[in-house]
Amino acid sequence: MLFIQYAFASEAAATTAEGGEGLAQTLGSVYPNPAAVWPTWLAFIILFVLLWKFAFPAILGMLDKRSEAIRESLEKAEQTKVEAERLLEEYKEQLAEARGEANKVIETGRKVADSMKDEIIAKAREEAAGIIVKAREAMEADKKAAMAELQAEVANLSVAVAGKIIGQQLTAADHAALIDKYVTEAGGLNDN
């Protein structure tokens, strides 16, 4: 303000140097007319009161509503964030449980496969043992049949040889008695 007064004073001094009338014009244009100031102030005060009474409450109410809406949005955002974090933790727990259950299922499958493998091996061994027993029984039966056939053949040959040595034909009863004797002797040798 001091600068403005200095500028006008220097202009007024320059004007005075040119003529005395310039200073009054310069000061009149710098300072407002007091008769025009009071109605301007009165209009400003009336306008301010009207604004204070009608416009400012509406503007302040609108600003309060806006700040309340922003506050509610922030609270909802915070609640949503907390809920999202809770859901994330739940999903992580469910995922960990699912992985644990999957590992249990895999482990159970391995155990079942191992037990099935053991059962199959045991069954195969039993069947092999059964086949071996049957083969031994079949061999024993074949051996006994071969021995019986061999004994019969030996007996027939023995009777034929004995008949040639003795020089006579044996009767059927002599023949049967001689076969029984040789079979008994051959059976006794077989037991040793």
For 92-113, the pLDDT digits (tens) are: 999 999 999 999 999 999 999 9
Q: Which two tokens stand for residue 78?
A: 């915070």
Question: Amino acid identity, residue 190?
Answer: N
46 — pLDDT class (breaks 50, 70, 90):
very high
- The residue behind tokens 């003529």 is 19
Chain segment 132-154, per-residue pLDDT in tens: 999 999 999 988 888 888 877 77
| Cα distances (Å, whole numbers) of residue 36 to 41, 51, 121 | 9, 23, 120
Alpha-carbon 58 to chain mean position: 57
**pLDDT band of 191, cuts 50, 70, 90:** low
Residue type (1 letter), 24: A
pTM value is 0.37
Calpha distance 3→34 (Å, rounded): 22
Higher pLDDT residue, 191 or 128?
128
Q: Where residue 49 falls among pLDDT bands split at 50, 70, 90?
A: very high
Decide which of 175 and 33 is more confident: 33
